[in-house]
A and B are shown apart, each in its own frame.
Chain A
Amino acid sequence: MLNTLHVLVQQSWQTVFVALRALRRNQLRSALTALGIIIGVAAVVAMAAVGNGAQASITQQVSALGENLLTVFAGSKRSGGVNSGQGSASTLTLGDAEAIAREIADVAAVSPEVSGFAPAVANGRNWSTSIVGVSPEYLQIRDWPLAGGAMFGERDVRSSAKVAVIGSKTALELFGPLNPLGQTVRVKNIPFVIVGVLAGKGAGMGGQNQDDRLLVPYTTAMKRITGDRYLRSVNIQIRSAARMEIAQAQISGLLRQRHRLAPGQADDFSIFNQKDIAETVGSVTGIVKLLLGAVSSLSLLVGGIGIMNIMLVSVTERTREIGIRIAVGAQASAINLQFLIEAVTLSLCGGLVGVVLGVATAHLVGSASSFQPIVTADSILLAFGVSFIIGVFFGYYPARKAAALDPIEALRYE
């Protein structure tokens, strides 16, 4: 038993060289045959790298939203997660925000949020940006540091002061390299004094730039910019992660009571936590992964069939060679092994090129997008494993055909 194994290993080793020589002899044909495997493996490797990178970037972005954050949006949550209707309904009031701060024990900080889109004018330039009305706690809740100056205070909120904290992108568009601190920016002809500059945060969930905004006291925004008594959302920080679920339920109960919703009636608000958001985005990347997975499996299948086809051609072309080998005493198993190894060698070479191509593609994607793809050893190992299995699976039939040839007829074959 051990001896036959030894013979098999030795013969396989000899055969690898025969196989490589046969592949080299038909370089173009081999390359074309391996194309399916190359594309499939490249897709798998690139997909895994991009998927991992996107996942990591999402995780990082979700945690960058702030710790233990709950966001209440006006309007109901539709099935399937975020929809554009949220925040536009007129159901959330300042009273709701105050009640949450007052009555829910686990709440650490609350910031109402209203927003509108308006042109901001300063330094002789004009730039359309988001005017966002918030409370001083907003930065703490969103875990958002300042690059300079200070956040406006409680007093500014009470007096509806005309002060603003400017986003880094907005500052760049309006002031260029100048320091915006102390400068005046006019929105709807109202002059705001810039008291702080936000640190850059990059693209947020969904890709919109979070750095293009002007934070002003919510009182000022409601009175002078939006002219609306309703809130878009309420940002809430909960004391500890362990209390998130309970707090969410309590807030929901409180709001239902305040909005006088009868049992069985749907919520006219929606509460999101980071987990929901991560899951929503995760499900989207999951769909993308599934699609790419389908594309690459299809490509691998086509590649495998290509290998089977070319191996069948090879067996036919080399009928006489097979006859000679059988005549000089090759066992059917040795012939079988030879062609199986040729198929596996072909698919593994395709796999190797595919891995290189996949890593290159991942880097290309990385240089063209906001996140860094992550190539893992797992995905490369998987790619080679899949190539190997394809070689064995699609090489099996041609190899068996070769081994079953009748030597007399094979030797007579022209």
Chain B
Amino acid sequence: MNAADVAAAPVIRLRNLCKTYRTGAVEVRAVRGVTLDIARGDFVAVMGASGSGKSTLMNTLGCLDQPTAGDYELDGVDVARLSPPQLAVFRNRKLGFVFQGFNLLARTSALENVELPMLYTVPLIPRRERRRRALFALERVGLADRHDHHPNQLSGGQQQRVAIARALVNQPELVLADEPTGNLDSRTSIEIMGLFQELNAAGISLVMVTHELDIAAYCKRLVVMRDGRVIGDTVNPDRRSAAAELAALNRTEQQADLN
């Protein structure tokens, strides 16, 4: 493969991916044959009703779980056949996670939270370099001045920004976000979507789960799931711009203040 092919190759390639949970006699077929390619630089919203298999798909994409059938290639590697220690390396180097509940370490500063993935990177990253990269990531999400704050001293939106900085710090191929705005108010949600759009414009591939249509509207591509299958996959026809909307919101607020 030449350089152009690598750039053109999808970062994620799913072929008939299945995930079946077995709890005793009961079988739950959470994902039932998903075939999907996600190109580098894409920004995908996965939508669907509760229980449609979105989280299961994301956990499999995130190498937190192995599919029960089908093929999964991440960055050209057949991940479905990797051992748990190799999966850990992939999570560390190629993937970044953003969760609905932020999932930061309590009683640990923002900076240390962002440094966390680098503690498990081999070859080891020296302390000073870890600090430098973590500060840079915090700067990217606009929180460099809060690096010594603990999660309980930060608002929900700020906590989610720290989580995004943590997801970015090892320069992953792909950022996965499962309902990242689920715990946030609408204004903060737009801010987070603005941050995602900014990162995506800088070349980062993103896949996020949401069941809110107006949040999905900030993404480039809309994938809809039902009963573990993809039933819709379209390019977003009229994509919203969080930056423009925030600017407009600010203007109306200023006018309200003046009146």
Contact = CB atoms under 8 A, between A and B. Distances in A.
B91 A328 contact: yes
A43 to B, nearest CB: 36
Contact of B92 (A10, A11, A25, A329): A329
B105 A25 contact: no
Interface string A1-22: 0010011001100100000000
Contacts of B107: 25
A166 B65 CA distance: 92
A395 B85 CA distance: 22
Contacts of A7: 122-124
B88 to A, nearest CB: 5
Interface string B114-145: 00110111111000000000000000000000
B64 interface: yes
A1 to B, nearest CB: 13
Nearest to A326: B88
A6 B124 CA distance: 9
A332 B88 contact: yes
Nearest to B167: A328
A230 B193 CA distance: 111
Among B88, B103, B116, find the residue whose CB has the most chain A CB atoms closer than 10 A. B88
B58 to A, nearest CB: 10
Contacts of B116: 324-325, 328
B226 to A, nearest CB: 22
A333 B124 CA distance: 16
A331 B119 contact: no
B120 A408 contact: no
Interface in B31-69: 59, 62, 64-65
Contacts of B97: 327-328
B168 to A, nearest CB: 12
A402 to B, nearest CB: 15
A407 B103 CA distance: 12
B93 interface: yes
A11 B92 CA distance: 15
Among A7, A321, A324, A407, find the residue whose CB has the most chain B CB atoms closer than 10 A. A324
A14 B64 contact: no
Given A320-B103, A326-B88, A411-B99, A331 B120 contact: yes
Contact of A332 (B85, B89, B122): B85
B84 interface: yes
Contacts of B122: 7
A381 interface: no
Contacts of A25: 107
B59 A330 contact: no
Contacts of B170: 329
A334 interface: yes
Given A7-B122, A7-B124, A331 B85 contact: yes
Contact of B65 (A323, A333, A408): A408
Contact of A328 (B59, B65, B85, B92): B92
Interface string A326-348: 11111111100000000000000
Nearest to A327: B97
Q: Is the interface of A mostly helix, strand, loop or mixed?
A: helix
A329 B89 contact: yes
Nearest to A21: B107
Contact of B59 (A3, A324, A332, A408): A408
Contacts of B120: 11, 325, 328-331, 334
Contacts of A321: 105
Interface in A1-51: 3, 6-7, 10-11, 14, 25
A328 B117 contact: yes
Nearest to B106: A321
B102 to A, nearest CB: 10
Contacts of A11: 119-120
A324 B64 contact: no
B91 A329 contact: yes
Contact of A324 (B90, B92, B105, B123): B105
A334 B84 CA distance: 13
Contact of B166 (A3, A328, A330, A407): A328
B64 A407 contact: yes
B103 A324 contact: yes
Nearest to B93: A329
Contact of B88 (A320, A323, A329, A411): A329
Contacts of B104: 324
Nearest to B59: A408
Contacts of B91: 326-329
Contacts of A333: 85
A333 B10 CA distance: 32
Nearest to A321: B105
A14 B119 contact: yes
Nearest to A3: B123
A321 B64 CA distance: 15
A329 B103 contact: no
Interface of A: 3, 6-7, 10-11, 14, 25, 320-321, 323-334, 407-408, 411
4 residue pairs, one from A and one from B, having the closest CB atoms: A329-B92, A328-B117, A329-B91, A330-B120
8 contacts: A7-B124, A11-B120, A327-B97, A329-B89, A329-B91, A329-B170, A331-B120, A411-B103
Interface of B: 59, 62, 64-65, 84-85, 88-93, 97, 99, 103-105, 107, 116-117, 119-124, 166, 170
Given A320-B103, A325-B116, A330-B119, 20 more contacts: A6-B124, A7-B122, A7-B124, A10-B124, A11-B120, A326-B88, A326-B91, A329-B88, A329-B89, A329-B91, A329-B92, A329-B120, A329-B121, A330-B120, A331-B88, A331-B120, A332-B88, A334-B120, A411-B99, A411-B103
